[in-house]
Amino acid sequence: MDIIFDELPPDVRSGATWMKTMYSVSVEMTDVVVTSLQASIKSFGKTGLKKIQGESPVIAEEIIVPTCTRLFEVGKLLSDSVNDVLDGLSKCSHAKFAKHFADI
């Protein structure tokens, strides 16, 4: 953040410019952010709960729901994201839990 701000001409460096730059870097949905979020959903579909600490569906929910919600809000949620999430939920060591999602 400071690197970007320091590269600006001195006459435009102000508190308002710093806040706008901070907002742009941390909140705006750039193509890189969208692509990264979409990739995280795809990755969950491939690796599943096995890559989540304790194979916890609660922790997975805390990651997946906000990611999907934000992508949906900007119209970038991929149509196969539901299948990726279901695939991910079916990849865990608890056979009965995994079967529920594998059958869908």
Given a cut of 80, is residue 101 above it in pLDDT?
Answer: yes
92 Cβ neighbours under 8 A, 6+ residues apart: 48, 49, 50, 55, 98
The domains of the chain are located at 32-102
Backbone angles phi, psi at 75, to 5 degrees: 70, 30
Half-sphere exposure of 90 (CA within 13 A, CB side): 14
pLDDT in tens, 43-55: 999 999 988 889 9
What is the Cα–Cα distance from 37 to 34, expressed in whole angstroms?
5
What is the per-residue pLDDT across 51-86, written as a single tens digit (0 to 9) for each?
888 999 999 999 999 999 989 988 999 999 999 999
| Prediction pTM value | 0.70
pLDDT at 2 exceeding the cut of 70:
no
Cα separation, 35 vs 71, whole angstroms: 10
What pLDDT was estimated at residue 17?
78
